[in-house]
Amino acid sequence: MSKKSVAILLFEEVEVLDFAGPFEVFSVTAQLSGYEILEVKTIAKSKSLIRAKNGLQVMPDLGIDELSQLDILIIPGGDGSRAVIQDKVLMEWIDNLAHKAQTVFTVCSGARILAKLGYLKIQRFTTHHEVFEDVLALEPKAIPDRNARFVDNGKFMTAAGVAAGIDLSLYVVEKYFGKEVKDNTAKYMEYGDFQDFGS
């Protein structure tokens, strides 16, 4: 099994659990495999300190000029996603990486970014319950699923608010590495009886 690379986007005012939840899932999966099946990195526009929602400061592993290829791209949400969609340089980089990645998924209001890039046109999606109208304003032809914990459209996936990113991350782990690996990850995290909330 070839090692898969995971990159988690960071930006100012990113929602903490949106990125920390997936980071924990994929990092635990990597740890339990002896770091043989996964490599997990955080990435931002530049390799400088990011101030997340409510003041948590995080140092990304990489700047966008240091990564040109990956398997899984994770786009969290937060109030800062509004600024991201106005950042031409960052959006072009996301678009380029999205084309190359095998899987791209958003958490919460990260769906704004996929909507702005046109990836949700005539596609089902979910997001934070307060963000559906924002996404539809950016892509009126997107198809909201307001009851789904997460939605799998194949390459592109979306998760509902905040903690739902953990569920989607576990789902993706199972998709790539199988149920046993996913179950072992959830057990290590004491995540309880993980259920498939997707559709």
pLDDT digits (tens, 9 = 90+) for 174-187: 999 999 999 999 99
Q: Which CATH number fits domain 4-188: 3.40.50.880, 3.40.50.300, 3.40.1380.10, 1.20.1740.10?
A: 3.40.50.880
Angle between helices 164-177 and 179-188 (to 10 degrees): 140
**pLDDT attached to residue 86:** 98
Across 5-31, average pLDDT: 98
Across 187-194, average pLDDT: 82
**pLDDT attached to residue 47:** 95
pLDDT classification of 198: cutoffs 50, 70, 90: low
Asked whether residue 107 carries a pLDDT value surpassing 70, the answer given is: yes
Asked whether residue 199 carries a pLDDT value surpassing 90, the answer given is: no
pLDDT in tens, 46-55: 999 999 999 9
pTM score, two decimals?
0.95
pLDDT in tens, 114-156: 999 999 999 999 999 999 999 999 999 999 999 999 999 999 9
Cα–Cα dist 177/171, whole Å: 10
- Phi, psi at 13, each rounded to 5°: 65, 30
Collapsing DSSP to helix, strand or coil, 41 comes out as strand
Cα(first)–Cα(last) distance of the chain, in Å?
27
In contact, 7 and 97? CB cutoff 8 Å: yes
Residue 25, both tokens: 């899932």
- Phi, psi at 63, each rounded to 5°: -95, 160
Collapsing DSSP to helix, strand or coil, 62 comes out as strand
Q: Which amino acid is at 134?
A: D
Across 75-104, average pLDDT: 97
Q: Indicate the burial class of 190 (C-beta count within 10 angstroms; 0-12, 13-18, 19 or more).
A: exposed
Nearest to 107 by CA among 175, 182, 10, 192: 10
Cα–Cα dist 32/157, whole Å: 25
